[in-house]
Amino acid sequence: MQGSVVVPPKPCVDACKDCSYQCTQKIVPVPTVGEALDMWLDGICFSNVETETVELSDALNRVSAAPVYAKFDIPAANCAMHDGIAVCRAHCEDKFASGNHTLLPDAFRHCPMGSVIPEQFDSIAHAEQCCLNDDGTATLFQLPVLYQSVQLKGASIAGGEKLMEADEKLSPSHLAILQYTGHTAVRVKRRPRIAVIPVGDDLKAPGEVPAPGQSIDCDSIYVRATALQCGAEAMVSRLVPDDGAAIAEAIRRELPTCDILVVIGGVGKGEHRYGDHTVAAVREMGRISCYGVLLGPGGKNLLLASVEGKPVLGIPGPPHAAIIMTEYFLPPIIEHWLGCPCYERQTVEATLAEDFPTRGGGKSIWEPRLRLEMTGQGYSARIVERMGDTVDNFINAAASVAVTGDPAQFKAGGKVRVKLLYGERTIAAKSLRQLKSHGTAETGTSPNKGE
């Protein structure tokens, strides 16, 4: 199958003087990712985030709204940590000093592991340190250490001890310790509500068949899924045409229902000259913090804004660009609401198997998807064979990398930190399947042959 010939446009910072868009970047420097986020988040205040009480069974991955404290001591009394007899250490010392190692029946108590130790005793004598006599007495061979094998009241958790702070994402361990210390519910922050508006005359709804020049909207499900992954709620509106009034109406309709608004499409620098009306609609209704960022693919047209004090994220429509903009800018605004990290990708070191194209560099970032192969020296990385809106880019890729800084570090043999898209075991399984599939394609045999 013949591949497409892709000639990417020059970055705004290089081509400004020849650009026909006449955009504000002719006088405003293009910010880095960090600078763009600072400009956007500094203007957004989520000071009065609502809270709710949920049962512990429904609290996994929610974010605590306030510190939580233990309701009682654990253990609630002194307990035996091993089998033995409970004794009073001071009484045993007196016995040893007098040369009499025999304890009368009321001077000890048999205590199996986990049992409560009577208040008059403070130590456990192990089986090898004593013996029980037929007459009901006990003989000590060795003095136990004070508090030997005794778990003191409140030694594990003291009543009133702080279990967690506010702004902690609740893990299974959090839920277990909460229930262990007497809690059945916990106060958490309300999930932020994300409204997603897909824009484009060329879009068709899921399940429809696109005509030439049309495509199925897939960006919205990616944005929604990422929002859910970050602990938010998300709803997708109906498709909106490339019309300024329609876009403004959709924003007015969705804004009261959400805390964060995402508009997909209509953010091109050509604006009305190329049928892109989202930026103008947002500019008319609110405040633009940033339009364009040093990140590709897609950063040239990124929109960071606010309307009625609520954050608005505008991302380009091409899916391969939309996923990068979503990964970089949706989690930070959700984290800004929740007050804790919610989207973390594992990083590993990989050796480049090829020279990477000289994109990015300096403060700019180019984020290609990568194939990973495990070798005897660790991971080997190469750019996916087919970039753009392809299976290679969306499914077969195992990682991505921020190509930035000195281009010399992105030559074959160089070592870089890559961000995994899956866990390492999943990557290994996917690589094995791909190798088998590649071998099957070369031999022309059926993958089910012989099964």
Structural domain boundaries of the chain? 29-47+191-206+215-338, 51-73+158-189, 79-151, 347-443
Give the model's pLDDT for residue 306: 97
Q: How far is CA 352 from CA 338, 342, 390, 409, in A?
A: 37, 29, 22, 9
Residues in CB range of 192: below 8 A, 6 or more apart: 232, 233, 259, 260, 334, 337, 338
The position carrying tokens 């909207």 is: 217
Please say whether the beta carbons of 367 and 419 come within 8 A.
Answer: no
Look up the pTM and report it: 0.84
Please say whether the beta carbons of 200 and 317 come within 8 A.
Answer: yes
Give the model's pLDDT for residue 439: 63
| CB hemisphere CA count around 84 (13 angstroms) | 24
258: number of Cβ within 10 Å: 21
The CATH H-level superfamily of 51-73+158-189 is Molybdopterin biosynthesis moea protein, domain 2 (3.90.105.10)
Please say whether the beta carbons of 121 and 108 come within 8 A.
Answer: yes
Reference 13, options 408, 316, 364, 410; nearest CA is 364
- Write the DSSP string, 159-174: TT-EEE-SS-BPPHHH
Triad 355, 399, 229: Cα angle to 5°:
155
Give the model's pLDDT for residue 447: 47
Each residue's pLDDT expressed in tens, for the chain with a length of 451 residues: 455 444 455 555 444 544 544 454 444 689 999 999 999 999 999 988 999 999 999 999 999 999 999 999 999 999 999 999 999 999 999 999 999 999 999 999 999 999 999 999 999 999 999 999 999 999 999 999 999 999 999 999 999 999 999 999 999 999 999 999 999 999 999 999 999 999 999 999 999 999 999 999 999 999 999 999 999 999 999 999 999 999 999 999 999 999 999 999 999 987 777 778 999 999 999 999 999 999 999 999 999 999 999 999 999 999 999 999 999 999 999 999 999 999 999 999 999 999 998 876 789 999 999 999 998 889 999 999 888 899 999 999 999 999 999 989 999 999 999 999 999 999 988 878 777 776 655 555 544 444 3
CATH topology of domain 29-47+191-206+215-338: Molybdenum Cofactor Biosythetic Enzyme; Chain A (3.40.980)
Please say whether the beta carbons of 26 and 16 come within 8 A.
Answer: yes
Question: How far is residue 137's CA from residue 351's CA, in Å, rounded to a whole number?
Answer: 73
Burial of 108 (0-12, 13-18, 19+ CB in 10 A): buried
| DSSP strand pairing (233-236 vs 193-198) | parallel
Question: How far is residue 44's CA from residue 417's CA, in Å, rounded to a whole number?
Answer: 32
Q: How far is CA 114 from CA 88, 108, 141, 148, 317, in A?
A: 18, 17, 24, 14, 63
**Angle, in degrees to the nearest 10, between helices 319-338 and 219-229:** 30
CATH of 347-443, one of 1.10.3720.10, 1.20.1260.10, 2.40.340.10, 1.10.10.10: 2.40.340.10
Reference 111, options 101, 90, 95, 126; nearest CA is 126
- What percent of the chain lies above the pLDDT cut of 70? 90
Q: How far is CA 65 from CA 245, 260, 423, in A?
A: 40, 20, 30
H-assigned helices in 230-269:
244-254
CATH topology of domain 79-151: Molybdopterin biosynthesis moeA protein; domain 3 (2.170.190)
Question: How far is residue 427's CA from residue 419's CA, in Å, rounded to a whole number?
Answer: 12
Reference 273, options 9, 6, 21; nearest CA is 21
Cis bond upstream, residue 297 (ω within 30): yes
**Distinct helix (H) and strand (E) counts, the chain:** 10, 28
Beta strands of 31-95 (E only): which ranges? 51-55, 68-69, 79-80, 84-87
Q: How far is CA 177 from the centre of its chain?
A: 22
Maximum CA extent, the chain? 106
Tokens representing 442? 């070369």
Give the model's pLDDT for residue 333: 98
